[in-house]
Structure 1
């Protein structure tokens, strides 16, 4: 698969500054991700209990989907630097609202505001990578973005536990924001500011609403009908994703469309298994915050270490990508299986901690050994060109990953918080969830095999 885009003509100093700012943003975004995961059981206990897990995740995902499809439209109509600054300001407002929330309702509102900004910033930031960096450097920068998680996977949980214990979970949500604002300001100064080419982009608002509605439906508290709500929400999200991604992506047998569907499936398996580890460790398996904080850190650390290695040795041909994808998929399968067995059999805190650490490491290693190559395969223009613009490709990548993440995490949080009225024992919920994620990882393996076929 030979990438052929023309390199952006940019001064070396601007490229270096943009690279540094993007790496800093990714580092701090990683810290923020771990902060949210680590303090989630604490804020739920403070503001109302485990029934908040599903609605909070839905509030973080549904508004994002209203903005993700607008990404390409924003990039071709507005200056990239202004987009970065406007939506960064909105993200700060949302985070401050969460930190000051006196009730679950205000927390949900702040989460939704932050999600609106996150949806726009995800596509705009990916557009900055595509437009601001020469193609010959892009793969190394993508590897570097993975590498920042070596630091954030260690720093994030440590920071969250320390701040939450000494100042409270509210401060943990906002103390890092000044650094994030400064990094985005530097990126705004260095990215090409003019709108991207491709003024014909239109915003598919109808499908964006369907995506958001599906995400909300997944977490509806409708008692005995909750299982049906999850099924309907998942169907709505997959239907909307099928319409928003390149034609036939979910069933494609080769090329970038197949790679995008593989990204969706891989994101579902990985994030569905790892985003809920704090709840699994604390609520279901009885670990203390310092112990489950260690578990939360491991997947990102393993991802980052493996991502550094694979990103520096890209699998540019189909055969190498096929082998690497197969190994990664089996890592995801094994990781989910180990957590399921831990939930079923481990009866002492030391065994629980050991099992979760092994499962988390396998999950993170599987994702890290694949992600830079899969992302590169989704973004690089093939020869012959498949007609996807850079802005459209960036939007599709962010959308595929976000749909996979939201579908799996909202369903997982809803299941762990309520059991959908079907299962009441927390440990049993863990076993059932991770058994289902083994099946999702097997689907990801099939889609990766299709993505490895780049040519007819």
Structure 2
């Protein structure tokens, strides 16, 4: 205990930084869980089920740009400036979303939110990389997972109550004061982290133009998935995919798309992980409320269980990562998520109790807790001095791109199923099968995450 007070994550010289980061991630948790909970009500009110997936994908694609800008700016100017700009954009997007008269306007508002939200994880990773020695980073990542506990316990419930009593618009508006509080409390500790000198061997800063190109190309790809004409579908997907991949190669470590050992494989693993998990997660409340006829509150409960189990898994891995090492934990996490997806398919396509969704997503959250933080450790352990922002940006870029593509494919299948007269569960089950393919790919490349320098650092006293 004495050692923890002198050199732990809550040591006097780190306490303000730790509390600030926990507050920021709590904000992220409230925003994500509250809006996901009320989306079935929003889509009914705005008559926009065909754009359901785009409400999430627009947020995530814009987040790609915010991530790259934040990472580069944090290396150049320090983390405080991009952090504050990001919070302003997040608040602006929430206000526009609260006033949105149509689903199209809401999609635009979510894009503005995404620009701001992209800053938060990139800045958090930079701060952790510069403020905490490597042997404390596993515990810090576990604490960040713990910051989801309060939003998980009360976020969906509060969102459901507010939406029922006052309307879903107040869910968006009610998050704005939390953004202001986060700015006041979390920014001052970041002021102590000035710009850093880059290592002469570090890769050049990420390009904003490349980030925009990835976002636009991914948007074309996802837009193509919604096209009703086969030629348009194939053309838009091919052109968008080519544009996005061309720029993505310059934003991620060399060899990422080939899963070369070390950081490249870790970045690719993160993309596969979020593709598989969030490709199902975004449709939990839709499956409960619209497919199985359950309540929005029940859908929110399933999300709550998933987030709490994510935290539990993260704490467990933080105690074993030194002995078991990242590859084994990541492989186990992918496998557990695979089991969760199978349980989701059972819940959505049979007459079992809707409580099965909570069971399924509890298992899925536990798998995410096992796999998510170890991938972060591999990337931060391999970052060159002065390029922590670029490394964290590459990781978050894969994180968000995996989410966007996974959710976009799911949304396209739901929309196609509605147009084609499929049973309500068919699109969701097909989407879940695609996510299982990503799980299998993640299991197969997990062994390439070994980085000897990281292992040596983690074992340091």
Q: What range is the shorter-chain TM-score in?
A: 0.7 to 0.9
Question: Residue in 1 aligned with 2:345?
Answer: 340
CA displacement at 1:236 relative to structure 2: 4.7
Asked if structure 2 preserves the Cα contact closer than 8 Å seen for 1:91 and 1:118, the reply is: yes
Q: 2:269 aligns with which of 241, 256, 262?
A: 262
Aligned residues: 438
The CA distance in 2 between the partners of 1:176 and 1:255, in whole Å, is: 38
Question: Residue in 1 aligned with 2:321?
Answer: 315
Asked if structure 2 preserves the Cα contact closer than 8 Å seen for 1:379 and 1:397, the reply is: no
Question: Residue in 2 aligned with 1:5?
Answer: none
CA gap 1:235/1:161 in 2 versus in 1, 3 angstroms: farther
Q: TM-score, normalised by structure 1?
A: 0.88
Question: Residue in 2 aligned with 1:121?
Answer: 120
Q: 1:219 aligns with which of 220, 223, 233?
A: 223
Asked if structure 2 preserves the Cα contact closer than 8 Å seen for 1:87 and 1:120, the reply is: yes
Q: CA RMSD in A?
A: 2.7
Question: Residue in 1 aligned with 2:358?
Answer: 357
Q: For 1:149-204, what per-residue CA distance to the aligned partner results, in whole angstroms no more than 9, with x for missing partners? A: 22222211111111111111111113233233222332211123422333984342
CA displacement at 1:454 relative to structure 2: 4.7
Q: Is 1:83 aligned to residue 88 of structure 2?
A: no
CA displacement at 1:417 relative to structure 2: 2.8
CA gap 1:110/1:205 in 2 versus in 1, 3 angstroms: same
CA displacement at 1:279 relative to structure 2: 1.5
1:45-444 alignment to 2 at 5 Å? 45-191=44-190, 192-198=192-198, 201-217=204-220, 218-220=222-224, 221-225=226-230, 228=234, 229=236, 233=240, 236-311=243-318, 313-316=319-322, 320-344=325-349, 346-347=350-351, 351-381=352-382, 389-419=387-417, 424-444=422-442
SS of the residue aligned with 1:175? helix
The CA distance in 2 between the partners of 1:203 and 1:306, in whole Å, is: 32
CA displacement at 1:239 relative to structure 2: 4.7
The CA distance in 2 between the partners of 1:320 and 1:136, in whole Å, is: 13
Asked if structure 2 preserves the Cα contact closer than 8 Å seen for 1:241 and 1:400, the reply is: no
CA displacement at 1:231 relative to structure 2: 6.3
The CA distance in 1 between the partners of 2:149 and 2:242, in whole Å, is: 35
SS of the residue aligned with 2:196? coil
The CA distance in 1 between the partners of 2:337 and 2:430, in whole Å, is: 16
CA displacement at 1:107 relative to structure 2: 1.7
CA displacement at 1:422 relative to structure 2: 5.8
Return 5+ residue gaps in structure 1 as ranges: 1-7
The CA distance in 1 between the partners of 2:394 and 2:142, in whole Å, is: 20
The CA distance in 1 between the partners of 2:285 and 2:392, in whole Å, is: 31
CA gap 1:210/1:321 in 2 versus in 1, 3 angstroms: same
CA gap 1:162/1:334 in 2 versus in 1, 3 angstroms: same
The CA distance in 1 between the partners of 2:260 and 2:284, in whole Å, is: 33
Asked if structure 2 preserves the Cα contact closer than 8 Å seen for 1:75 and 1:391, the reply is: yes
The CA distance in 1 between the partners of 2:182 and 2:320, in whole Å, is: 28
SS of the residue aligned with 2:194? coil
CA displacement at 1:269 relative to structure 2: 0.9
The CA distance in 2 between the partners of 1:424 and 1:215, in whole Å, is: 27
CA gap 1:202/1:451 in 2 versus in 1, 3 angstroms: closer
SS of the residue aligned with 1:176? helix
SS of the residue aligned with 1:202? coil
SS of the residue aligned with 2:173? coil
Q: TM-score, normalised by structure 2?
A: 0.87
Asked if structure 1 preserves the Cα contact closer than 8 Å seen for 2:206 and 2:390, the reply is: no
CA displacement at 1:232 relative to structure 2: 5.6
